[in-house]
Amino acid sequence: MKSSRAAIAWCGLKPALFTLLLTMSGALLATDPPTAKYPKYPSETPTNFTPATDSYDYTRREVMIPMRDGVKLHTIILIPKGAAHAGMLLTRTPYDAKELTTHSPSGHLGPMLEGYDNATDVIIEDGYIRVVQDVRGKYGSEGDYVMNRPVHGPQNPTPVDDATDTYDTIDWLVKNVHESNGKVGTLGISYDGFEPLMALVNPHPALKVSVPMNPMVDGWIGDDWFHNGAFRQQNMSYIYEQTASRDNTIKWWSSYHDEYDLFMQAGSAGELGRQYGMTQLGFWNKVLAHPAYDAFWSDQAVDKLLGTLPLKVPVMLVHSLWDQEDSYGALAVYRAIKPKDSRGDMVKLVMGPWHHGQEIEEASSLGAINFGSDTGQYFREHILRPFLAQYLKDGAPRADLAPVSAFETGTNQWRRLDRWPLACESDCSTKSRPLYLEPGQKLGFNAPATGAAYDEYVSDPAHPVPFRARPIQPVGYDPGQTWSQWLVDDQREASGRTDVLTYTGEVLTAPLKISGVPEVHLAASTSGTDSDWVVKLIDVYPDQVAERPDLGGYQLAVAMDIFRGRYRESFAAPKALVANQPLAYQFALPATNHVFLPGHRIMVQVQSSWFPLYDRNPQTFVPSIFEAKPTDYQKATQRIYHSPEQASYIALPVVGG
C-alpha cells in the first residue's frame, strides 16, 4: 500500500498545496449554500390552511377550557348550523376527543359522530350541541392522568378531580356557547360512563340530566379489574396502553395467536407485568399493591360515594344484561341512589339484552341469540330520546317512561316495571326459591334427602379451564374480534370437561321467570389452602329447535361469575382455607331478567378456573397471587356437597311463586 506522501506525489501535487485544498473543501462543506446562489423552491403547503366550511351543516370549535388550578382541557364543540337555544350534550373521555369527532370526513354532522360513545341518531335529529372533552392528562388536555381519578379525599389530596373538572367545564360552556339554552346533559359509556357519575358530585346548576351507560363503578367487586377478588388479567393490555403514554401510541404486543398460551407461559400476572415493563406504570403498581378490597378500592367505589350525597340531578342508569366488562356498576349505583328519589321520578333504570355499549348500535342479536327486534334502536327512540328532551329542550313534554324499562330475555319483550328487582307489570310476587344441586348431578327445587354427600373433581392449574373456546382472542372490538360476545358463548365447551361439574334439571313444562340477582350458596371443600369457584346459571335449549337448528342443545349462560375463596370471610382480609373442610361460600351472580321457556332445561356448572380471563389461583395460599411462584401452583381435589346437612343451591329470584 502506498504511503500518503507517495500518493500525493503520484497525483502531481505539492504537499502544501494539497493541504490548502483540503482545508478549503472542508470549509465549503461545513457552510450552508448561500440563498442567492441556491434559490428556495416555493412550498405548495400553506403555513396555515383554513378549510372552506360554508356548506357544512355544523360549526366546529376547538378550545382549551381552563380549570380552577390553571390546567386547560382540550374540548371540541360541534354546533348545528342555525342552532339557537339548543341543549348541550357533554361527554368527557380518555379516548381522544378529536378522533371521536372526526370519524369520517364529511360536511355533515352525522358521519362526524358515528364513532364510539355516540347515540348519533338522537343527537343529530334533536339538534343538540355536542361537546366532547379529553380528560385531564390524555391526548390534547394538559395535566396529569390518573386512572378513574378519585374525588378529593383520602385517595386524592389535590383540590381537583373529575367532579371539579366537569363543574368547571359546564360553567365555561354556559357562559361561552351562546347558541345554547344554558342546559347541559352528560352521557357516556364505560369509562365515559364513569364521568356522568362524577358530574353528580356537587353538580353544576346548569347540569339538568345525567346518563351513565355501563359505567365503571367498583373496579374490585365486579367491574374492570377484579371480580370478587379474582384478577381480570386480560385487561392488562388496556392498563398498558391507557397509561404508558398520553396518546395511547405505545401498544401492547404478543407473540401468541392464543392468549391462553401467552398467560400460561408467564405463570402469574405479576410476572407477565414484569416482562412487559409494567412496573413503570403508576396504576399497575397500585393494582399490585392492593390485591384485597382495602381502602384504596372502597374509597373509590362510586356507588358508596353517591350513596352519601343528596340527589340533585335526574339520572338514567343504563345496564346491559350481558355486559362482558362492567356487569356490576350501573345496578350498584341504582341501589345506592334510588332510596334518595323522594319524588319517585329522578332515577330511571334501563336494562337491555346487550353487550357492553351495544345500546348505541344495531342490537337485534348478540352472538347466536336473536331478540326479534332492534333493541338498541328501541332504547334510543322510545327511552333515551324523550328522557333527554324533557330536561334539555325548551318546552318539551314530560317523558312517559316507567321507573324501570327492562327487556325480558326468553320471551323477548320490553317490560315497564315499577321498581327493581321486586317488580312486575301486574299483580305478582317475586321471591327467592332455592334451586338445589342434587346427587346424580341433577337440579331441583326440593332439598336433597338421600344419595351421595358430594361430587368431586381435580382442579389442575397446569390445565386451567378456558373461559371460551380456543384460540382465545385478546380483548378488543376490531373487525373479526368476538370479545363482546363471550358471555353468550355456548357452554358445551366446558360441560364436557372432567374438571367441570354439570347439574341439569328436568325439561320444563311451564315457563319459569326470574327477575333479579341469583345468589350462590355453595358448600364446598378443597384439598388446597385457597381456591376459586366459578358458578354458571345456564338455559339449555331443546335438542331440536325447528326455526334455528344451530341452537339445538345450546347452553346459554344467563348469569355467571367467579369468587376467590381467600375472601370467604372478608374482602379486606384474605385468609387461608382449611384443607378438606366443607365451608360455606355465598356470592351474587349478575342480575338477570329471563324466562326459561317450556321445553328448556336449567343447568348449573361449577369449576375452579376461568382462564385466561382471570388469573389462576395457585390453590396454595400465598400473600399475593401476583407474586405466586411456579412451585405454588398445585393440583387440588374439589368437592361440592349436596347432603341434607350441607346443601348447595342457587337462590333464584322467581316471579309468580
If we measure between CA atoms, which residue out of 465, 623, 397, 444 comes closest to residue 530? 623
Same domain, residue pair 213 and 242: no
The answer to whether 264 and 538 are in contact (CB under 8 A) is: no
| Half-sphere exposure of residue 23: CA atoms within 13 angstroms, side-chain side | 6
Same domain, residue pair 167 and 272: no
pLDDT of residue 9: 41
Same domain, residue pair 403 and 294: no
Residue 274 lies in a domain: yes
The answer to whether 644 and 448 are in contact (CB under 8 A) is: yes
Alpha carbon separation from 198 to 194, 392, 488 (Å, rounded):
7, 19, 31
Domain holding 30, by residue range, is 1-41
The x, y and z cell numbers of residue 227, run together, are 371480580
Residue 561 lies in a domain: yes
Residue 259 lies in a domain: yes
pLDDT of residue 108: 82
Distance separating alpha carbons of residues 433 and 651, to the nearest angstrom? 5
Neighbours of 343 (CB within 10 A): 9
If we measure between CA atoms, which residue out of 414, 392, 389 comes closest to residue 404? 414
**CB within 8 Å of 114: residues ≥ 6 apart:** 103, 104, 120
Same domain, residue pair 475 and 390: no
Same domain, residue pair 23 and 125: no
The answer to whether 451 and 321 are in contact (CB under 8 A) is: no
The answer to whether 414 and 408 are in contact (CB under 8 A) is: yes
Distance separating alpha carbons of residues 244 and 265, to the nearest angstrom? 23
The answer to whether 655 and 428 are in contact (CB under 8 A) is: yes
Same domain, residue pair 552 and 596: yes
Residue 303 lies in a domain: no
Amino acid sitting at position 590 = P
Considering only CA atoms, give the Rg of the chain. 30
Distance separating alpha carbons of residues 266 and 274, to the nearest angstrom? 10
Same domain, residue pair 89 and 23: no
Residue 111 burial (C-beta neighbours within 10 Å; 0-12, 13-18, 19+) = middle
| Last-in-domain residue among 298, 328, 350 | 298
Residue 49 lies in a domain: no
pLDDT of residue 7: 41
Residue 50 lies in a domain: no
Dihedral angle, C-alpha 456, 457, 461, 463, nearest 10 °: -170
Same domain, residue pair 500 and 618: yes
Dump strand ranges (E) for 285-427: 315-320, 347-352, 365-366, 369-370, 404-408, 413-417
Number of domains in the chain: 4
Instruction: Give the DSSP H/E element, type plus range, for residue 269.
Output: helix 269-275
CATH number assigned to the domain comprising residue 436:
2.60.120.260
The answer to whether 91 and 140 are in contact (CB under 8 A) is: no
Residue 548 lies in a domain: yes
| Half-sphere exposure of residue 259: CA atoms within 13 angstroms, side-chain side | 24
pLDDT of residue 422: 59
| Last-in-domain residue among 370, 395, 417 | 417
Same domain, residue pair 282 and 348: no
Residue 120 lies in a domain: yes
CATH number assigned to the domain comprising residue 257:
1.10.3020.10
The x, y and z cell numbers of residue 25, run together, are 473543501
Neighbours of 125 (CB within 10 A): 12
DSSP letters spanning 432-491: EEEEEEETTTEEESSPP-SS-SEEEEEE-TTSPPBSSSSSPPPS--STT--GGGGGGSBT
Same domain, residue pair 403 and 470: no
Instruction: Give the DSSP H/E element, type plus range, for residue 74.
Output: strand 72-80
Task: Respond yes or no on whether the N-terminal peptide bond of residue 159 is cis (omega within 30° of 0).
Answer: no
Same domain, residue pair 330 and 288: no
pLDDT of residue 423: 47
Blockwise average pLDDT, block size 10, the chain, 657 residues: 41 49 49 66 91 86 98 97 96 95 78 75 94 98 98 96 98 98 97 98 98 98 97 98 97 96 97 98 98 97 97 98 97 97 95 97 97 97 98 96 97 95 57 94 93 95 97 93 97 94 98 97 98 98 95 98 98 98 98 98 98 98 98 98 96 89
Same domain, residue pair 126 and 256: no
| Last-in-domain residue among 243, 269, 298 | 298
